[in-house]
Chain A
């Protein structure tokens, strides 16, 4: 089963994302900040990473950078969840190695469509 790592410091967002993904048949691993995200990524072989940008302890961008140094995650799709529509955040994300982004707020089916697009 395809495993997705969902990282967001907001519990309600995590719940919504997990529920959406599980209902679509995905396996989900959660984390509430970048540090936990890296730890979970190490423990579980994930096929895709969804991450919020603004989080305490380690934000999404730093986490992306860290994940890209792990052999298992060199090419894993990493998608940033962001309300920032400013150019800089997306550029920063990309230069850290993120695959792309999903703009908040998103509806559950928008999330699923984007994920399906990425996972092929």
Chain B
């Protein structure tokens, strides 16, 4: 039966690419002067797996190349050889090279082997060997025997390792005519017998004229170390000669060899020691995205149906009520389970995107001759897979910008009293119904004067307009804006911040920057966790019902006018304990006729976004419920202050508030803001 190996190729490629990622991140995190044992082992294992798989599935070029890599890695992990930064570089380059080779194989496109050969030669130079000499030994040429005489003294422990002599004899008997004489002389007295020990010896005569020595060796290869086995050919009319001890020889290897140094056995430390338990790496599940989307729509429908049924059930005829309630309970449970499992599959940790950055920072900082450390936090924060794929490029752009324009050269930094090595930190966390991604650098900060001058020169702002620091910094997101003196090869055309902003907005998010000259900058991207089912608070303003994300609500209260201060030219302020909170009447922001414009007859819902609180004026708080977020952008466009829409139990559309956007709307209407003293 032939088994078609190509059906396993895709899995092999995928796991190999993952293995290469493991190698890369491992190599980047290595300290050559103090090699972490755990780390080098995992790098070795990754290379080892790729070698084994590629050899098994017939990818000889990859197997040969990886073999040399693996050999060197093995020496490092056995502490025969130390690591140095040049070796790390070489390994990183070979990771790239392997990626190239594997991608070529996967796409069935030929790849030039020159790069691999060049790297291999460098490795061989380090190892002091050449792998071009094939080390496999062929079987000896021997005269054809008509049979074999085998005398075997059974090693005492062979049974304990599951080696059953009967099996071997059965194998022999299939090769020809076998006669066995058993020698019981070594059997101890009955009461001294250990059941698991082997005390027997045998004399075996196999009559067959097509059996080679290698064939016989193969039968005994596993026990040859523990037994005394003498194998002699029976030539025509010759008697078996007394056998010499057969040295424990290797069964012929099927692969070529780069001989591992003889000291290896002495230096073995790694594998014999049981590894400390590590948290298992989360495997990735490859699921067809379309199927998932269908499932999610289904879940959405179920949620809606559930709330519709709930409504009907509320005023139904009495005799049907209990059945309806039972059904509702089941429905609720199913929805819960479906929801949970589906959400699990769709959301992925942002580490998938963050993973490429350490390498990028390393390569770029070398290119720019700067010293830069990358700190990554919150990489387990999850977000929707599609959003993550689309946010990758904007993040790369922002990071490159920090490296290129943000962090200063070591000399400049020292002059400014900063440590020579700059720090860029990536952080991701959930807030409300959003994921916030921040890129922070302790570099030079945004040059406000230059930005202002450039904006004036380009006519983006008038000559007399006075802007706050925040507004000046925000100018960098205007199209065509670049203050880079020299168009840098690293970030392309200096700053393409307008493209970044547009990309983020297309995902329904915002990007903003906070910066202080001489201290550093922080770029913040906020993205909605689309496909989310949100815990919402239904709120009525006039004849419209809106959804507030429950997480954003701090408190709700009715107020008396004595708690409110009116500031001329700006919005009213609510004094809440020690804070002054701006009051935003939603009816104005949204153009709706409220129940009453009298603050004392309304409710104020205090909400918070990115550490800013505002009080929104509403007419009534209604139910809290889970809502399915539906996109406005699909068929319409994004609306400031609205993050999406949902369908209520009665089939009508209700808009979900984007608290961050509302705050911005409110702030633009209220230039003054008094924070707690």
Contacts and interface: CB of A to CB of B under 8 A. Distances in A.
Interface of A: 9-13, 15-16, 19-20, 23-24, 35, 52-59, 61-62, 68, 74-78, 83, 85-88, 91-92, 94, 97-101, 103-106, 108-109, 117-118, 120
A19 B171 CA distance: 25
15 contacts: A11-B11, A16-B57, A24-B1, A54-B45, A56-B42, A61-B272, A75-B159, A83-B52, A88-B265, A94-B226, A99-B162, A103-B255, A104-B52, A104-B55, A120-B167
Contact of A61 (B9, B159, B271, B278): B271
A15 B42 CA distance: 22
Nearest to B16: A12
Given A56-B42, A85-B253, A100 B264 contact: no
B141 to A, nearest CB: 23
Given A104-B55, A105-B63, A120-B167, 4 more contacts: A10-B49, A19-B8, A20-B3, A57-B280
B51 A83 contact: yes
B459 to A, nearest CB: 59
Nearest to B67: A83
A27 to B, nearest CB: 17
A12 B12 contact: yes
A59 B278 CA distance: 13
Contact of B11 (A12, A35, A55, A62): A12
A95 B274 CA distance: 15
Contacts of B126: none
A59 B255 contact: no
B254 interface: yes
A92 B257 CA distance: 19
A35 B7 CA distance: 28
B221 A106 contact: no
A20 B159 CA distance: 28
B254 A105 contact: yes
Contacts, number: 137
Contacts of A117: 167, 171
Contacts of A59: 271, 275
Contact of B271 (A54, A74, A75, A87): A54
B162 A85 contact: no
Given A53-B271, A56-B45, A85-B253, A16 B5 contact: yes
Leading 9 A-B pairs by shortest Cβ distance? A100-B222, A105-B55, A12-B12, A99-B162, A88-B265, A85-B253, A105-B56, A108-B3, A12-B11
Contact of A99 (B8, B44, B51, B161): B161
Interface in B461-511: none
Nearest to A57: B275
B225 A13 contact: no
Interface residues of B, number: 53
Interface in B1-24: 1, 3, 5, 7-9, 11-12, 15
B406 interface: no
A58 B271 CA distance: 9
B45 A9 contact: yes
A106 to B, nearest CB: 7
B162 A75 contact: yes
Interface string B152-183: 00000001111110110011000000000000
Instruction: Give the interface centre of A68, A97, A104 by most chain B CB atoms within 10 Å.
Output: A104
A95 B9 CA distance: 35
B160 A68 contact: yes
Contacts of B63: 105
B393 interface: no
Contacts of B159: 75
B155 to A, nearest CB: 10
A23 B57 CA distance: 18
A2 to B, nearest CB: 14
A118 B196 contact: no
Contact of B278 (A19, A56, A83, A99): A56
A12 B12 CA distance: 5
A118 B223 CA distance: 13
Interface of B: 1, 3, 5, 7-9, 11-12, 15, 42, 44-45, 48-49, 51-53, 55-57, 63, 159-164, 166-167, 170-171, 196, 221-222, 225-226, 250-251, 253-255, 257, 260, 264-265, 268, 271-272, 274-275, 277-278, 280
Contact of B272 (A76, A83, A92): A92
Contacts of A61: 271-272
A12 B57 contact: yes
Instruction: Give the interface centre of B161, B196, B254 by most chain A CB atoms within 10 Å.
Output: B161
Contacts of A57: 275, 277-278, 280
Contact of A94 (B5, B171, B225, B280): B225
B162 A13 contact: no
A2 B55 CA distance: 28
Contacts of A52: 52
Instruction: Give the interface centre of B9, B56, B162, B254 by most chain A CB atoms within 10 Å.
Output: B162
A58 B160 contact: no
B162 A76 contact: yes
Contacts of B222: 94, 99-101
Given A57-B278, A92-B272, A87 B56 contact: no
A26 B3 CA distance: 15
B264 A86 contact: yes
B170 A120 contact: yes
Contacts of B161: 78, 94, 97-99
Contacts of A75: 159-160, 162, 164
A68 B160 CA distance: 8
Contact of B264 (A35, A55, A88): A88
B631 to A, nearest CB: 36
A101 B253 CA distance: 11
A104 B356 CA distance: 32
Given A87-B250, A92-B272, A98-B161, A105 B52 contact: yes
A23 B251 CA distance: 28
Given A13-B52, A91-B225, A85 B45 contact: no
A88 B45 contact: no
A66 B321 CA distance: 60
Contacts of B49: 9-10, 13, 54
A59 B15 CA distance: 19
A105 B255 contact: yes
A85 B277 contact: no
A87 B260 CA distance: 10
B121 to A, nearest CB: 22
Instruction: Give the interface centre of A16, A85, A101 by most chain B CB atoms within 10 Å.
Output: A85
Contacts of A87: 250, 265
B55 A83 contact: yes
